[in-house]
Amino acid sequence: MPRTQPPTRFAYLGPEGTFAEAALSSAVPPGEGSRQPAASVPAALAAVRSGEADAALVPIENSVEGAVPATMDALADGDPLLITREVFLAVSFVLAVRPGTELAAVRSVASHPHALAQTARRLAELLPGVVPLPATSTAGAARQVADGEVDAAVCAPIAAQRYGLAPLVEDVADHPGAVTRFVLVAPPGPLPAPTGNDKTSLVAVVGDRTGALLELLREFSVRGISLTRIESRPTRERLGVYSFSLDCEGHAADARVGEALAGLHRVCDDVRFLGSYPRADGRENKPVPPTAADDAFAEAAGWLQAVREGRA
């Protein structure tokens, strides 16, 4: 069911109060459109595929909320979906309690096991002797605090706020500065217009032979395109076949990216285009070499036509 309207019904990796919800709010002002939490990344994407939601916001890199490979896999398989936007969110944990609770009174603390792992040292200092309890999500832990089941939660500020908790200690991550990358995913439809600072995502499947990856990467480098991420992914179904999930600089509408995509489509066993969208990590794409700019492609195409007609 292709898109025809801007999305108004948003799914996100829930429950309420996750970093995904915070990321969605940073991308779409809270007043715009409805939003529904989903139990998992596959569930969020399924909501888009079935038409229940117009778009879904899910973590794709480095998240503490859940397995990112799940997002990669859920995008690579099933009905096609397109990334229309990326959102980066600083992952800032707070130790949240019911208002009025003091640190000395905290006898139990809960969070998602990933969040507990990322705050283990600080928790041991702050709450010596307290054994952390697992929760299904950081937001779920916040709710448990609100419900009085545990005394404290390691969660996102938005979760503390949503469940009426007080942030007793800010920034309890052992290694502060973590950032999670989220993507907004929608059904096939018009690509976001090129902005001059875009990224393109895709999954390419190639046979397992020496140099296959190099061959794949040549399609980018020969056209002056930089990659920003690459991951080999095992393909369970077929032995001896590799899948590469990658992001490159540029937009499918750019001549150089288009030619590279077409080249990959020719030489790979399979290519799934996952979208072109504005780069949002605060960095600028590397300058496009003049020989790879759109006008260089246009000029070369004109010259080739003259060559083929015997006019050159």
> Residues 100 to 119: which contact a copy of itself by CB under 8 A?
112-114, 116-117
The 3 state secondary structure assigned to 170-204 is: CCCCCCCCCEEEEEEEECCCCCCCCCCCEEEEEEE
**Quick one: which segment of 98-106, 149-157, 161-169, 173-181 binds a copy of itself (CB under 8 A)?**
173-181
* Residue 311 binds a copy of itself, judged by CB under 8 A: yes
Dihedral angle sign, alpha carbons of residues 59, 60, 65, 69: positive
At closest approach, how far in Å is the CB of 22 from a copy of itself? 19
Q: How far apart are CA 232 and CA 245, in angstroms?
A: 6
Q: For a copy of itself, which residue of 120, 195, 196, 207 counts as binding (CB under 8 A)? A: 120
Q: Phi and psi of 305, rounded to 5°?
A: -65, -40
Q: For a copy of itself, which residue of 80, 157, 167, 278 counts as binding (CB under 8 A)? A: 80
- Single out the residue of 61, 86, 88, 89 nearest to residue 278, CA to CA: 86
Q: Smaller CB distance to a copy of itself: residue 30 or 51?
A: 51
C-alpha dihedral over 228, 234, 236, 239, to 10 degrees? 120
**Quick one: which segment of 87-95, 100-108, 162-170, 233-241 binds a copy of itself (CB under 8 A)?**
233-241
Q: How far apart are CA 95 and CA 167, in angstroms?
A: 6
Q: Smaller CB distance to a copy of itself: residue 26 or 40?
A: 40
Stated as kind and residue range, the H or E segment containing 145 is helix 138-146
* Residue 195 binds a copy of itself, judged by CB under 8 A: no
Map the footprint of a copy of itself across residues 19-48, applying CB under 8 A: 39-40
1 Cβ contact partners less than 8 Å away, ≥ 6 residues apart: 51, 187
At closest approach, how far in Å is the CB of 137 from a copy of itself? 8
Q: For a copy of itself, which residue of 33, 157, 167, 258 counts as binding (CB under 8 A)? A: 258
At closest approach, how far in Å is the CB of 92 from a copy of itself? 15
3-state secondary structure of 137: coil
Map the footprint of a copy of itself across residues 143-172, applying CB under 8 A: none
**Binding letters toward a copy of itself, positions 82-101, x by CB under 8 A:** x-------------------
Q: For a copy of itself, which residue of 33, 69, 157, 167 counts as binding (CB under 8 A)? A: 69
Q: Smaller CB distance to a copy of itself: residue 25 or 75?
A: 75
Residue type at 166 in one-letter notation: A
* Residue 81 binds a copy of itself, judged by CB under 8 A: no
Q: Smaller CB distance to a copy of itself: residue 30 or 207?
A: 207
Q: How far apart are CA 56 and CA 40, in angstroms?
A: 11
- Single out the residue of 83, 79, 28 nearest to residue 59, CA to CA: 83
Q: For a copy of itself, which residue of 218, 241, 270, 278 counts as binding (CB under 8 A)? A: 218
* Residue 217 binds a copy of itself, judged by CB under 8 A: yes
* Residue 232 binds a copy of itself, judged by CB under 8 A: yes
Q: What are the beta bridge partners of residue 85?
A: 184
